[in-house]
Chain A
Amino acid sequence: MSANTAMATKYRNSFLKEVEEQVEMGDWVKMCMQCGVCAGSCPVNFQSAWEHPPQEIFMMIRAGKREEVLTSPSMWNCTSCYNCIVRCPRKLPITHIMHGLAEYAHRLGIAPKMQPTRFFSGLFWKNATKTGRVNELKLSMGLYFKDGFGAGVKEGMKMKDVALGLIKAKRLNPMELLGGHKCKDQKGIQAMLKKAYEIERSRKAAKMAG
């Protein structure tokens, strides 16, 4: 049984309870009074990708629309500008809840796979933890080729002048493509990450178990 079905079975018809227990800051969801100030304050508001503003996400949680919420790309669009937190009259930590929901959907494995934010987050994490240093060249190349080879080449050509400029200004080293710079204590970094993963895994497992 997948983590998703396990959780769905566990909380049967109380998605709000599931969010309260599983999602970081999820216990705040019930305090929303549907004023809509968050939606009005959000800079992402007018982009088509933004399907549900936070207010709606909260209402959907209360209405038990589990599938719709967790597979929604909406919370992935949050830019963490914190406007909503500043303005919320009920002092809900909306930004954190959005990230909490995104993280939970990711943990359950049902978050939209190719959602750019999610894709980039994964890419960044892999890139940074591999050597302990961010390889910017590989990171941006990875993002360019997200939607296939053709699209990647096209995007790369579009950014050609910028790249050349960066190389001239010595802000970009093409040699990075061949491995790149690394953190000195590779083993130490990996050991540290391993420990962190372990702690997180056990904490989440405990949370999901109950």
Chain B
Amino acid sequence: MADIKVAAYICKGCGLGERLDTDALVKVAQKDGKVPLVKSHDFLCNADGVAMIRNDVANEGVTHIMIGACSRRAKTEAFFFPENAVARANLREGVIWIRPDTEEARETTQDMAEDYIRMGCAEVKAMTAPGGNPNTGSNKTLLVVGGGVTGMTAAVEASKAGYPVVLVEKSSALGGWGARLFKRIPIHEPFKSPADTGVADLVSQVMGDSNIKVYLNATIAKTEGAPGRFVVDVATESGATHTEDIGAILQATGFTLYDMNKLPELGAGKSPNVVDQAGLEALASEAAAKDGVIRRPSDGQPVTSVVFVQCAGQRDTTGTHLSYCSGYCCNTSVKQAMYFKDANPSVETVVVYTDLRTPGNGEDFYRSAQEKGVIFTKGKVSQVLPSGNTSTVKFHDLILDDTDATIADVDLVVLATGQVPNSGVNIEALAKPQVAGEEGEAPAEGEAVEVKPISILNLTYRQGPDVPQLTQGFTDSHFICFPYETRRTGIYTAGPVRRPMDMAQAREDATGAALKAIQALENAELGRAAHPRSGDLSFPKVRLEGCTQCKRCTVECPFGAIDEDEKRFPVFNESRCRRCGTCMGACPVRVISFENYSVNTVGAQIKAVDIPDEFSEKPRILILACENDAYPALDMAGMNHNEYSAFVRIIPIRCLGSVNTIWVTDALNAGYDGVMMMGCKSGEQYQCHFVKGSELGRVRMSKIDDTLKTLNLESERVRDLEVAITDIKRVPEMINKYAEELVAIGPSPFKGF
């Protein structure tokens, strides 16, 4: 680009002027950085300093700005120049705050600052100002899949926020599981008795809302497009297909109760007097319609004793049943025991539990049940033996350590079986046999994965028809940091499809997810990224001429953003992209880049660093630090003045997944003594903001050893580290330790070539 004009600004505030030789920095920017316009300022982020930059942009034709001041994470409002390419050299958190203020340290500290200025100048020249994704859609309709409590709540909330909603429900009526309950766990003071479900109200609210279009007996036949411009085919029972234009999707497909027939040892299927929790709700509703007396199904006699078996087929350690706790069943059994006690206090009600878990205000509810005379017994039920009209419950009493405890003559046994998510097709399980098939191997017998046959969203995405799952069939989401996000941008999941939960939690979940969906479609219209780089205007650009159709980007994209055209070239759906750069890191021919983040912007920084010769005793360590966790941790280390080696040069990266191996080999070839990569925890307990980014990055980097061998270098020269945002003390320690280790290994043989 011919018409770029770069300007560099160096701040003297916050002690930079005292600790560093800023005049030398100005010279470095002019000479090494080859920047024509370089200015220093006593206090760059104040109104006067910012006005100076603005003036240069307006009157001097400056297009590219390099700011040598504080971290790029600081003063973002002052240094906000959306029209320009901006690079920041981190002289404060990254240099003076992590170095001792001593005479001996002065030289290496200055070296560090000068390198960061060189890097900033090199980076900014390789950048252009991001213009925003042009391929946007502006549809503002929210599609809600599932008409249960979660779905209806989401629909109502979105409608209240002013967004039209299309609600698709598979069955013939709204309400889902909620409608099948007799009463619900109370959500208001004093949390003492079962309350009205409120589902009927919610249904009438949905039906009476002109902003909500409801399809009953309908499924999603096809979903294509991207946030802001989804096109969804809704198939109705009559066979007709309605096409809806959709902005964002909220999947609230709920759960199925774990099949109690898998629990014959607990009497399931052996007697009608053994029911699951839904079965009891039906009995209670039936009773309420008549005389209020719950009767045992076998002969219609009133129930005089009932036993609730908690964790039936749940928290199973043998691998046969559900391994997890569904979290709502204890409260539900408390509630159901009250159905009996409220109607007739003389009914014997025993809840056999291993750990009573009553989230929310369930503790008050539990206490109320005890006051009402429900007996809670800590034990593990081993057998339910139905005989005639009664059953015998055998259990291991965990308090008295009685392995042969028995409750005889029980009229009704209720099994708390737990939730199994309705999350559609497990696309990762699907992918396996496909790959095997391509390689000409038939999947081994018995290895065939259990695939739920019915897809819910029927996405036309290259990576599969449904949202990816994390574990146990629950859709992928980060439990704490970003609960509603799936790995499909603009598609959010809420309710028990996301994790097991009760109605109160589901309603909260629905509201949160609806707001996230609204955010996503608004961002999509403006061509901006959604979480976690929300507002980012850059997007991946591909030079298709260079593409070898290797498919790595389409396979690896953690968000399924990239499809393939008929010729197997990648098709980037920018609105689905989260801007992690995993495609860029994956691309072996390096044709994928972002305007302000590319193989070049990082590569230029790596090359800009001055590498002293091997006799100087000044090693150079390159750190590629994830901007979400590692870089903030390093910044905070600076704020706490936790010192670390002056020989490191840190480059923030969007994600470990965006690291292209060329950076590492370039750095080693250029004479760096070591490379540290700092990314988030990967695996099932991942902390990566891009879910799979750090994992994919690590897989790629695990192959770096071969490269090192061909370069005849020690494998210790590249180190992969898991860093969390809280590692404020640990990161400097790791850096210093590594620096010492490298001294032992000796300088890189590539210096001076």
Which A residues are within 8 Å of any B CB, using their own CB?
Answer: 16, 30-31, 33-34, 55-56, 59-60, 62-63, 65, 90
Complex: chain B residue closest to A31, CB-CB: B370
Q: How far is the CA of A56 from the CA of B400 in the complex (A)?
A: 6
- Is A59's CB under 8 angstroms from B378's CB? yes
1/0 per residue, CB under 8 A from A, across B372-404: the answer is 010111100000000000000000010110100
- Is B400's CB under 8 angstroms from A60's CB? yes
Complex: chain A residue closest to B355, CB-CB: A34
CB distance from B105 to the nearest CB of A (A): 55
- Is B377's CB under 8 angstroms from A33's CB? no
Q: How far is the CA of A30 from the CA of B345 in the complex (A)?
A: 14
What are the residues of chain A within 8 A of B50 when measuring CB–CB? none
1/0 per residue, CB under 8 A from A, across B353-369: the answer is 00010000000001100
In this complex, which of B366, B370, B371, B377 has the most chain A Cβ atoms within 10 angstroms of its Cβ? B370
Q: A30-B370, A30-B373, A59-B397 are in contact. List 17 more A-B contacts (CB 8 A).
A: A30-B371, A30-B375, A31-B370, A33-B356, A33-B366, A33-B370, A34-B376, A34-B378, A56-B399, A56-B400, A59-B378, A59-B400, A62-B375, A63-B397, A63-B400, A63-B405, A65-B400
- Is A33's CB under 8 angstroms from B397's CB? no
1/0 per residue, CB under 8 A from A, across B543-559: the answer is 00000000000000000
Q: How far is the CA of A33 from the CA of B399 in the complex (A)?
A: 11
Q: How far is the CA of A31 from the CA of B375 in the complex (A)?
A: 9
CB distance from B173 to the nearest CB of A (A): 40
- Is A59's CB under 8 angstroms from B367's CB? no
8 CB contacts below 8 A, A to B, read A34-B399, A55-B399, A59-B397, A59-B400, A60-B400, A62-B375, A63-B397, A63-B400
What are the residues of chain A within 8 A of B399 when measuring CB–CB? 34, 55-56, 59
CB distance from B137 to the nearest CB of A (A): 55
What are the residues of chain B within 8 A of A56 when measuring CB–CB? 399-400
- Is A63's CB under 8 angstroms from B377's CB? yes
A62 in contact with B377 given A31-B367, A31-B370 (CB within 8 Å):
yes
What are the residues of chain B within 8 A of A60 when measuring CB–CB? 400
CB distance from A21 to the nearest CB of B (A): 13
Q: How far is the CA of A90 from the CA of B371 in the complex (A)?
A: 12
CB distance from B257 to the nearest CB of A (A): 27
In this complex, which of B375, B378, B400 has the most chain A Cβ atoms within 10 angstroms of its Cβ? B400
Complex: chain A residue closest to B353, CB-CB: A34
CB distance from B386 to the nearest CB of A (A): 21
CB distance from A67 to the nearest CB of B (A): 14
Q: How far is the CA of A90 from the CA of B367 in the complex (A)?
A: 9
- Is B377's CB under 8 angstroms from A59's CB? yes
What are the residues of chain A within 8 A of B356 when measuring CB–CB? 33
Complex: chain A residue closest to B378, CB-CB: A34
Q: How far is the CA of A82 from the CA of B648 in the complex (A)?
A: 62
Total CB contacts across the A-B interface at under 8 A: 34
Q: Which 3 A-B pairs have the closest CB atoms?
A: A59-B399, A31-B370, A34-B378
CB distance from A88 to the nearest CB of B (A): 13
Q: How far is the CA of A63 from the CA of B356 in the complex (A)?
A: 18
Which B residues are within 8 Å of any A CB, using their own CB?
Answer: 356, 366-367, 370-371, 373, 375-378, 397, 399-400, 402, 405
CB distance from B364 to the nearest CB of A (A): 12
CB distance from B495 to the nearest CB of A (A): 30
Q: How far is the CA of A30 from the CA of B373 in the complex (A)?
A: 7
CB distance from B242 to the nearest CB of A (A): 53
Q: How far is the CA of A30 from the CA of B378 in the complex (A)?
A: 13
A16 in contact with B375 given A34-B399, A56-B399 (CB within 8 Å):
yes
Q: How far is the CA of A63 from the CA of B402 in the complex (A)?
A: 11
CB distance from B353 to the nearest CB of A (A): 9
CB distance from A127 to the nearest CB of B (A): 38
CB distance from A56 to the nearest CB of B (A): 6
Q: How far is the CA of A55 from the CA of B378 in the complex (A)?
A: 11
What are the residues of chain B within 8 A of A63 when measuring CB–CB? 377, 397, 400, 402, 405
What are the residues of chain A within 8 A of B370 when measuring CB–CB? 30-31, 33
What are the residues of chain B within 8 A of A90 when measuring CB–CB? 367
What are the residues of chain B within 8 A of A16 when measuring CB–CB? 375
CB distance from B401 to the nearest CB of A (A): 9
- Is B400's CB under 8 angstroms from A33's CB? no
What are the residues of chain B within 8 A of A59 when measuring CB–CB? 377-378, 397, 399-400
Q: How far is the CA of A63 from the CA of B352 in the complex (A)?
A: 12
Q: How far is the CA of A44 from the CA of B400 in the complex (A)?
A: 19
In this complex, which of A16, A30, A63 has the most chain B Cβ atoms within 10 angstroms of its Cβ? A63
Q: How far is the CA of A107 from the CA of B370 in the complex (A)?
A: 28
- Is A33's CB under 8 angstroms from B376's CB? yes
What are the residues of chain B within 8 A of A31 when measuring CB–CB? 367, 370-371
Q: How far is the CA of A59 from the CA of B397 in the complex (A)?
A: 9
What are the residues of chain A within 8 A of B378 when measuring CB–CB? 34, 59
Q: How far is the CA of A191 from the CA of B20 in the complex (A)?
A: 100
What are the residues of chain A within 8 A of B373 when measuring CB–CB? 30
Q: How far is the CA of A65 from the CA of B377 in the complex (A)?
A: 13
Complex: chain A residue closest to B369, CB-CB: A30
CB distance from B550 to the nearest CB of A (A): 60
Complex: chain A residue closest to B371, CB-CB: A31
In this complex, which of A16, A56, A59, A62 has the most chain B Cβ atoms within 10 angstroms of its Cβ? A59
Complex: chain B residue closest to A60, CB-CB: B400
What are the residues of chain A within 8 A of B376 when measuring CB–CB? 33-34, 62
What are the residues of chain B within 8 A of A30 when measuring CB–CB? 370-371, 373, 375
Q: How far is the CA of A56 from the CA of B377 in the complex (A)?
A: 11
What are the residues of chain A within 8 A of B405 when measuring CB–CB? 63
Q: How far is the CA of A90 from the CA of B363 in the complex (A)?
A: 11
Q: How far is the CA of A33 from the CA of B356 in the complex (A)?
A: 9
CB distance from A60 to the nearest CB of B (A): 6
What are the residues of chain B within 8 A of A33 when measuring CB–CB? 356, 366, 370, 376
Complex: chain B residue closest to A58, CB-CB: B399
Q: How far is the CA of A55 from the CA of B370 in the complex (A)?
A: 15
Q: How far is the CA of A56 from the CA of B398 in the complex (A)?
A: 10
CB distance from B661 to the nearest CB of A (A): 55
Q: How far is the CA of A16 from the CA of B378 in the complex (A)?
A: 16
CB distance from B368 to the nearest CB of A (A): 11
Complex: chain B residue closest to A89, CB-CB: B363
Q: How far is the CA of A55 from the CA of B400 in the complex (A)?
A: 10
CB distance from A172 to the nearest CB of B (A): 47
What are the residues of chain B within 8 A of A62 when measuring CB–CB? 375-377
Complex: chain A residue closest to B402, CB-CB: A63
What are the residues of chain A within 8 A of B371 when measuring CB–CB? 30-31
Q: How far is the CA of A55 from the CA of B401 in the complex (A)?
A: 13
What are the residues of chain A within 8 A of B367 when measuring CB–CB? 31, 90
CB distance from B377 to the nearest CB of A (A): 7
CB distance from B460 to the nearest CB of A (A): 53
What are the residues of chain A within 8 A of B377 when measuring CB–CB? 59, 62-63
Q: How far is the CA of A206 from the CA of B348 in the complex (A)?
A: 27
Q: How far is the CA of A60 from the CA of B402 in the complex (A)?
A: 11
Q: How far is the CA of A65 from the CA of B400 in the complex (A)?
A: 11
Q: How far is the CA of A65 from the CA of B373 in the complex (A)?
A: 18
Complex: chain B residue closest to A52, CB-CB: B400
CB distance from A161 to the nearest CB of B (A): 46
CB distance from A51 to the nearest CB of B (A): 12
Q: How far is the CA of A65 from the CA of B402 in the complex (A)?
A: 12
CB distance from B442 to the nearest CB of A (A): 54
CB distance from A82 to the nearest CB of B (A): 22
What are the residues of chain A within 8 A of B375 when measuring CB–CB? 16, 30, 62
Complex: chain A residue closest to B374, CB-CB: A30
Q: How far is the CA of A63 from the CA of B399 in the complex (A)?
A: 11
CB distance from A97 to the nearest CB of B (A): 15
In this complex, which of B371, B373, B375, B399 has the most chain A Cβ atoms within 10 angstroms of its Cβ? B399
Complex: chain A residue closest to B363, CB-CB: A33
What are the residues of chain B within 8 A of A55 when measuring CB–CB? 399
CB distance from A73 to the nearest CB of B (A): 17
Q: How far is the CA of A62 from the CA of B397 in the complex (A)?
A: 12
CB distance from A44 to the nearest CB of B (A): 18
